[in-house]
C-alpha cells in the first residue's frame, strides 16, 4: 500500500514538470501559466511582374473594344480600321448601307405613332399618335346622327330605339391600345427584336388590320323601351254585348265583338338585343301583333241568349181583379235587370192607386178578405216569383200569403202590399235579364230572357208540406159596435195552417241532376172569428 502511494506522488510530479497545453497555446506548469515562444515569421517572396503584364493586357483589350464600339454609338467611321457593330447575333461589319437600314429600322420601330395599315371602324389611323387617332374617331359624326338607332315596325306604326334613350359605352380605348400594340410586340423568333418588330410592321402594311369598336348597353333601359312599345300596341278585346231587347218580338240585338292585339314583349326585347349584339346598329325589326279573340263573341251570344224560363197562372172572372193584374203586368213588362242589380216589384209598379187605373178588388189583410184598390196584383208577383226561381236568379225578399193561394201550389206564392211588403230578386249573373209579362184571356204569363242555363238544362219547383197546423177549436167572438144591433158576421173562417218546403229541381235532358231548398213557407192556422153587436 505504501508503495502505491509513493508511485502516485511521483506521477503527479512528472506531469507538473511536463505541463499541460491549453487552447490559447499557453502551457500550465503546476499552478503557473507560461506562453510558449512563437517562431519568427518568414519573409514573403515578391512576384509583381506577372500581375503587371495581365493588367496591361486587360487595358489594351478594353481600349480595343471601345474603339470597336465607337462607330456604332457615335457615328464615327475609321478609314484605317474596319468598322464593326455588336448585335445579339454576334459582331457584324458596319458600313453605310447597314447603318442606313439600321437607323431606318430604329425610326420605324421606336416611335409613338401607330404603324401603317391600321383601320378602326373603317377609318385609317396609320401614322397617327394615340391621341390624334382618338380625336379623329370622336370627331367623326355619325351618318345617322346617333351611335345606334334600331327601327321597330309594329304593323303600320314605327318606333325608334336609339342611343339618346339608352346609357352606353364604346370600347374605343381598348381598340386604340390594340392598334398601338401592333409592331411593338416582341415574340420569340429569328433575328433581333428590332428585326422582328420591323417584320411585323411590314406585314401590317401588306395585310392591313381592321379593328371595330363595340358598344355596351344598359339592357334595363332597352327592356323598358321594348315593354313600352308592347304596352302601346296591347289592346284588350271587346266582348259582344246585348244592345237591346225587342219585347214584342222577343228578340235580342247584339253589339259586335272586337278582337284585341297582343305583342310579345319578351320576343321584341330579344330581337333588339340580337340586332345590337351582331353589330347591326341601324337595323330594322318588323313584328306583327297577334290578334286576340274576345272572350264572348256575337255568334256565341246569338246562340246563348234566349228565353230562360216561363210561368203561367190562371185568374178568376173578377173584372176589377183582372184589370189590376193587367196593369201590374204592363208595369213590369220589358224591365231590364242588369248584372248585380236588384229588382223591386213595388218600385216597378209604384203605388197601386185609382189614379193609375187600379180597381177595388178582394185582397187578404189581417187574416180576412177585404176590398182594396189594386187587389189581385199578388197573382202577378207570385207568377213572377215562379219564373224568377226557374231562371235561377237570387231571391232577396219573398213572403207567403196568410193562407195558400188557389192559383199556385203551396209554397210558390209571393204576396206584396204597398209600401212595406215587397218581392225582390237580384240578377247575380254577368249578363242582363229581361222580364216579359202579359195578361190575356184570364192568363198571367211571365217570361225571363237572358243567358240560357245551358242546352238541355232547366229548373222546376216542387213543394212539400212538412207540417200541418190544425185550426184552434171553438169560435172567437169579437164585438164590433159599427154593426147594427143584433147583427153577427163571420169575419175569419177556421183554416188549417201549413209548413211547406219549396225546392229548386235541376234537370239535364229531362233527368234530375240535383235539388236545392229554395224557401220555407209557414201558413198560419186561423180560429173562426165572429163579430157581433
Q: Which pLDDT score is estimated for 105?
A: 62
Higher-pLDDT residue of 367, 297: 297
pLDDT tens by residue, 142-160: 554 457 889 999 988 999 9
pLDDT tens by residue, 346-386: 999 999 999 999 999 988 776 677 788 999 999 999 999 99
Q: 419 preceded by cis ω (within 30°)? A: yes
Q: Which pLDDT score is estimated for 101?
A: 62
- Which residue blocks in 340-455 are alpha helix, DSSP H? 345-349, 377-390
pLDDT at 446 > cutoff 60 = yes
Tell me the chain's radius of gyration from C-alpha atoms. Answer: 61
Q: Which pLDDT score is estimated for 33?
A: 47
- Which residue blocks in 75-166 are alpha helix, DSSP H? 96-109, 130-139
pLDDT tens by residue, 158-202: 999 988 888 878 788 888 888 888 877 766 666 667 667 777 777
Q: Which of 318, 522, 529, 528 is nearest to 404 (CA)?
A: 522
Residue 23 CB burial class (10 angstroms; 0-12, 13-18, ≥19): exposed
Residues 6 or more apart in contact with residue 381 via CB below 8 angstroms:
328, 345, 414, 415, 416, 423
Which of 78-87, 102-111, 198-207 holds the top average pLDDT? 198-207
Q: Please report where in the chains the cell 185550426 appears, as a residue.
A: 471
pLDDT category, 467, cuts 50, 70, 90? very high
pLDDT at 519 > cutoff 60 = yes
Task: Please give the Cα distance from 116 to 204 (Å, whole number).
Answer: 7
Q: Which pLDDT score is estimated for 227?
A: 95
Task: Please give the Cα distance from 449 to 502 (Å, whole number).
Answer: 23
Q: Which pLDDT score is estimated for 299?
A: 94
Q: Which pLDDT score is estimated for 100?
A: 58
Average pLDDT over residues 30-56: 63
pLDDT tens by residue, 48-79: 788 788 888 888 888 877 777 777 666 667 76
pLDDT at 281 > cutoff 90 = no
Amino acid at each position: 500500500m505504501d508503495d502505491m502511494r509513493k508511485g502516485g506522488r511521483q506521477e503527479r510530479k512528472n506531469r507538473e514538470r511536463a505541463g499541460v497545453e491549453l487552447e490559447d497555446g499557453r502551457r500550465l506548469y503546476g499552478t503557473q501559466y507560461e506562453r510558449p515562444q512563437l517562431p519568427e515569421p518568414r519573409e514573403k517572396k515578391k512576384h509583381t511582374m506577372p500581375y503587371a503584364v495581365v493588367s496591361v493586357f486587360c487595358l489594351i483589350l478594353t481600349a480595343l473594344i471601345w474603339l470597336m464600339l465607337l462607330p456604332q454609338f457615335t457615328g464615327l467611321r475609321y478609314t484605317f480600321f474596319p468598322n464593326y457593330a455588336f448585335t445579339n447575333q454576334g459582331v457584324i461589319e458596319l458600313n453605310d448601307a447597314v447603318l442606313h437600314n439600321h437607323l431606318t429600322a430604329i425610326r420605324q420601330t421606336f416611335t409613338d405613332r401607330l404603324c401603317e395599315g391600321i383601320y378602326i371602324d373603317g377609318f385609317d389611323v396609320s401614322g397617327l399618335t394615340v391621341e390624334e387617332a382618338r380625336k379623329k374617331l370622336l370627331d367623326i359624326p355619325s351618318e345617322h346622327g346617333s351611335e345606334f338607332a334600331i327601327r321597330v315596325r309594329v304593323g303600320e306604326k314605327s318606333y325608334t330605339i336609339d342611343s339618346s334613350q339608352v346609357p352606353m359605352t364604346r370600347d374605343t380605348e381598348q381598340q386604340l391600345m390594340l392598334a398601338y400594340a401592333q409592331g411593338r410586340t416582341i415574340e420569340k423568333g429569328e433575328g433581333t427584336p428590332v428585326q422582328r418588330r420591323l417584320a411585323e410592321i411590314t406585314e401590317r402594311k401588306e395585310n392591313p388590320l381592321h379593328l371595330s369598336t363595340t358598344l355596351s348597353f344598359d339592357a334595363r333601359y332597352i327592356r323598358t323601351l321594348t315593354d313600352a312599345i308592347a304596352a302601346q300596341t296591347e289592346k284588350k278585346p271587346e266582348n259582344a254585348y246585348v244592345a237591346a231587347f225587342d219585347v214584342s218580338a222577343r228578340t235580342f240585338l247584339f253589339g259586335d265583338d272586337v278582337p284585341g292585339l297582343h305583342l310579345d314583349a319578351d320576343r321584341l326585347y330579344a330581337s333588339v338585343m340580337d340586332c345590337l349584339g351582331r353589330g347591326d346598329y341601324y337595323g330594322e325589326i318588323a313584328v306583327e301583333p297577334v290578334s286576340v279573340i274576345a272572350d264572348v263573341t256575337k255568334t256565341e251570344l246569338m246562340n246563348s241568349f234566349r228565353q230562360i224560363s216561363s210561368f203561367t197562372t190562371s185568374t178568376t172572372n173578377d173584372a176589377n181583379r183582372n184589370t189590376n193584374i193587367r196593369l201590374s203586368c204592363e208595369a213590369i213588362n220589358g224591365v231590364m235587370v242588369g248584372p248585380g242589380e236588384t229588382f223591386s216589384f213595388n218600385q216597378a209598379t209604384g203605388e197601386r192607386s185609382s189614379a193609375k187605373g187600379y180597381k177595388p178588388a178582394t185582397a187578404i189583410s189581417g187574416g180576412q178578405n177585404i176590398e182594396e184598390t189594386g187587389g189581385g196584383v199578388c197573382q202577378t208577383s207570385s207568377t213572377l216569383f215562379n219564373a224568377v226561381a226557374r231562371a235561377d236568379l237570387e231571391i232577396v225578399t219573398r213572403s207567403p200569403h196568410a193562407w195558400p193561394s188557389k192559383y199556385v201550389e203551396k209554397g210558390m206564392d209571393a204576396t206584396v202590399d204597398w209600401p212595406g211588403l215587397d218581392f225582390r230578386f237580384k240578377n247575380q249573373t254577368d249578363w242582363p235579364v229581361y222580364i216579359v209579362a202579359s195578361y190575356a184571356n184570364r192568363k198571367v204569363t211571365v217570361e225571363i230572357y237572358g243567358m240560357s242555363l245551358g242546352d238541355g238544362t232547366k229548373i222546376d219547383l216542387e213543394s212539400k208540406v212538412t207540417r200541418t197546423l190544425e185550426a184552434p177549436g171553438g169560435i172567437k167572438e169579437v164585438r164590433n159596435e159599427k154593426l147594427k144591433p143584433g147583427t153577427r158576421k163571420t169575419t175569419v173562417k177556421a183554416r188549417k195552417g201549413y209548413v211547406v218546403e219549396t225546392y229548386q229541381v235541376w234537370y239535364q235532358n229531362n233527368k234530375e241532376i240535383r235539388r236545392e231548398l229554395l224557401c220555407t213557407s209557414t201558413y198560419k192556422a186561423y180560429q173562426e172569428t165572429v163579430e157581433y153587436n
